[in-house]
Amino acid sequence: MMRRLLLVVWLLAGVAAPVLAFQPPAAQSEYVPVKDLPPVDQLPAAPLLVAAYSFIWLAAMFYLWTIWRRLGKVEAEMRALEQRRTHSSR
Amino acid sequence: MKKAFLPLLLLAAAMFAYAPVVIAHADYESTMGLVQKVMYFHAPSGMVMLISAVVCGVASALYLWKKDPAADRVAIAAAELTALFGLIVLVTGPLWARKAWGVWWVWEARLTMSFVGWLIAVGYLFVRKYGGPGSDKLGAALAVFGTANVPFIYVSVNIWRTMHPMTTVVPTLQPGMRGAFWFSALTLFLLYGLLLTARIHLERQRTALDQLYLAEED
């Protein structure tokens, strides 16, 4: 008798556990304004994303510009030197 | 290469301009939401930084071994790009971390080692600029040392307990995220290749100018 009772309890527990596990979450008891959330949760993500993308653009463009500028200087110096050599050889 | 440079640069710029559209259509990550999309620029920039440090180190080792000036030109160009992409990583990472972790910076293994890697690249450039005679060999040795740091940066997230996502994240990206990631990565790899080519060309022109001055002295 006792063994049967234990078996029934065990079976019920086995069935009840998954049923209870699939219960919907507790209903919301109050509304919390966004300003009351922790500072990290209030922080908007979009400006951070835009800042990251913009920084890469600016860094790449700035670096390309520095190469172009340095190359321009070197090539101008080469031309000047070539001209000087041509004049001196005449 | 000279003929292909401008069309390829325009292609890289177009891909870069289109990348936000691709990224906007990528799936949202479940816990971080929108800010996780910084990953599409941050992680490929980190990959480029590490590749560039290896290029610099291998070229420097070749320079020390064979005394080939062409290898030195590649090394100095790659070092500058390691510093550039390292800076991008060190700026975009904290922008992500501020929202995802609640802090701009944590002195944990991956972040600290990446910072050290960037400092080595910047150190190399300072040595080359202000080191005087013999700075080419000193810089090359420093670059080899910097390359030895690369595997540690990569595996640091798997060895030590860190807040940074692990290396398994990229290979296991879901199809909704994978396309956007590799599109961004391809864009940055292309940009890196073009910037490296342009920078090597500058170094080649500088060598030619030095030879002209030497010829004039003779």
What are the pLDDT digits (tens) for B69-107?
999 999 999 999 999 999 999 999 999 999 888 889 999
For residue B185, the model assigns a pLDDT of: 96
Cβ(B184)–Cβ(B44) under 8 Å? yes
Distance, in Å, from the CA atom of B126 to the CA atom of B113, rounded to the nearest integer, reads 20
A36: its two tokens: 């009351």
Span B24-38, average pLDDT: 87
Q: How confident is the model at residue A23 (pLDDT cuts 50, 70, 90)?
A: low
B84 CB neighbours in chain A (<8 A) are 59-60, 63
Chain centroid, CA B111 distance in Å: 15
Structure ipTM:
0.90
CB contact under 8 A, A74 and B206: yes
pLDDT tens for each residue of B38-57: 999 999 999 999 999 999 99
Between B136 and A40, residue with greater pLDDT: B136
Distance, in Å, from the CA atom of B9 to the CA atom of B107, rounded to the nearest integer, reads 37
B45 CB neighbours in chain A (<8 A) are 56
CB contact under 8 A, B202 and A45: no
Domain of B54, in residue numbers: 2-217
Does the pLDDT at position A13 exceed 80?
A: no
Distance, in Å, from the CA atom of B74 to the CA atom of B193, rounded to the nearest integer, reads 12
Closest chain A residue by Cα to residue B41: A53
For residue A25, the model assigns a pLDDT of: 59
**B11–chain A nearest CA distance, Å:** 14
Task: Please say whether the dihedral angle defined by the alpha carbons of residues B56, B196, A58 and B126, taken in this order, is positive or negative.
Answer: positive
Mean pLDDT, chain A, rounded, equals 81
Q: What is the tally of structural domains in chain B?
A: 1
Closest CB from A48, A57, A75 relative to B35: A48
CB contact under 8 A, A63 and B34: no
Which one of B73, B212, B218 makes the best mutation probe of the A interface by having the most chain A beta carbons within 10 Å?
A: B212
Q: How confident is the model at residue B128 (pLDDT cuts 50, 70, 90)?
A: very high
pLDDT tens for each residue of A43-84: 788 889 899 999 999 999 999 999 999 999 999 999 998 888
pLDDT tens for each residue of B143-192: 999 999 999 999 998 888 888 888 888 888 888 899 999 999 999 999 99
A40 CB neighbours in chain B (<8 A) are 99, 102
Q: How confident is the model at residue B136 (pLDDT cuts 50, 70, 90)?
A: very high
**CA R_g for chain A:** 38
pLDDT tens for each residue of B106-122: 998 999 999 999 999 99
Between A6 and A25, residue with greater pLDDT: A6
Least confident of A2-11, B85-94, B192-201: A2-11
Say yes or no: B20 contacts chain A, CB-CB below 8 A.
yes
For residue A21, the model assigns a pLDDT of: 60
For residue A21, how many C-alpha atoms fall within 13 Å in the half-sphere facing its CB? 6
Q: How many CB pairs under 8 A join A and B?
A: 79
Least confident of A8-12, B11-15, B28-32, B135-139: A8-12
For residue A22, the model assigns a pLDDT of: 60
Distance, in Å, from the CA atom of B85 to the CA atom of B93, rounded to the nearest integer, reads 12
A15: its two tokens: 């069935």
**A10–chain B nearest CA distance, Å:** 37
For residue B144, the model assigns a pLDDT of: 95
